[in-house]
Amino acid sequence: MRLPTRGELEPARIGWIKQAGPTKADLSLVDVGDGPLVVKDFGGKAAWVRWIGRIQIARECRAYRWAGAIAGLPKLIGRIDAHALALEKIDAEELVFMKDRKVDGALKHARLTEIVRNMHRAGLYHLDLRGIDNVMLGPGGRIFVIDLGGAICLKPAGWLQRRFGDWFAMADRAALLKWKIILDAGDFTEEERAFERRHRFWRSLWIFNRKQRRSD
């Protein structure tokens, strides 16, 4: 599909997915003749947000290119400019808000787990799977993971992955436990319970989780 230019975005817009707040990227549907694309764009934000946004757009493009053809991730069409990128539009809805999300919950969770495992094998760590709007459900129970803006890429089997991969994977593994509850996908195994306790301990030491630590 053809990558739109900045000048084409406004006239080719066919709808909004999300008009975000002042510090977040807007998401819109754009069609320049080959079908709808999803455009993530910081271009209309304040200068300091655009400056941060260009870093995030660069990171996200790198993550999608790094992912290659991993099933369950939308395909990157390309970087429009410093502040925007375009992705394929997937036929899916936010899983957490679907009334039948718990139907075949164990199967849905297994499919999500497989996507995450494939990402980790490729040295790609999402780090924001706890965000409930980052997991989508398509026809036939197909699962998609979106928004790689915060993802980390490490060379598979490289020194950095061997040294830090398990730490980065911890956030995604904890998110999978959250999704297991959301999907009613079965009880935690003993291994999962032990991991949850370790993860809660390490999170309690993080300075931004002091409030949570006091309430636990």
| Interval 37-68: pLDDT, tens | 999 999 999 999 999 999 999 999 999 999 99
Q: Can you give the pTM of this predicted structure?
A: 0.89
Question: Mean of the pLDDT values across residues 188-193?
Answer: 91
Instruction: Identify whether residues 39 and 103 lie together within a single domain.
Output: no
What is the separation, in whole angstroms, between the first and last Cα of the chain? 49
Instruction: Identify whether residues 101 and 180 lie together within a single domain.
Output: yes
Percent of the chain with pLDDT over 70: 94
Domain count, the chain: 2
Instruction: Identify whether residues 98 and 181 lie together within a single domain.
Output: yes
Domain that holds residue 76: 6-88
Which pLDDT value is given to residue 108? 97
Instruction: Identify whether residues 181 and 97 lie together within a single domain.
Output: yes
CATH number at residue 58: 3.30.200.20
Average pLDDT, the chain: 92
Say if residue 54 is exposed, middle or buried (CB neighbours under 10 Å; 0-12, 13-18, 19+). middle
213 falls within a domain: no
Instruction: Identify whether residues 58 and 14 lie together within a single domain.
Output: yes
Contact (Cβ atoms closer than 8 angstroms) between residue 135 and residue 129: yes
Give residues with Cβ within 8 angstroms of 170, minimum separation 6.
199, 202
pLDDT tens across 97-151, in order? 999 999 999 999 999 999 999 999 999 999 999 988 999 999 999 999 999 999 9
127 falls within a domain: yes
191 falls within a domain: no
Residue of 80, 12, 82, 21 whose CA lies nearest to 46: 21
CATH number at residue 165: 1.10.510
Instruction: Identify whether residues 75 and 97 lie together within a single domain.
Output: no
Q: CA-to-CA distance for 105 and 99, rounded, in angstroms?
A: 12
Residue 1 has pLDDT above 90, yes or no: no
Which pLDDT value is given to residue 51? 97
Instruction: Identify whether residues 23 and 84 lie together within a single domain.
Output: yes
39 falls within a domain: yes
Q: CA-to-CA distance for 92 and 101, rounded, in angstroms?
A: 13
**What band does 205 get if pLDDT is binned at 50, 70 and 90?**
low
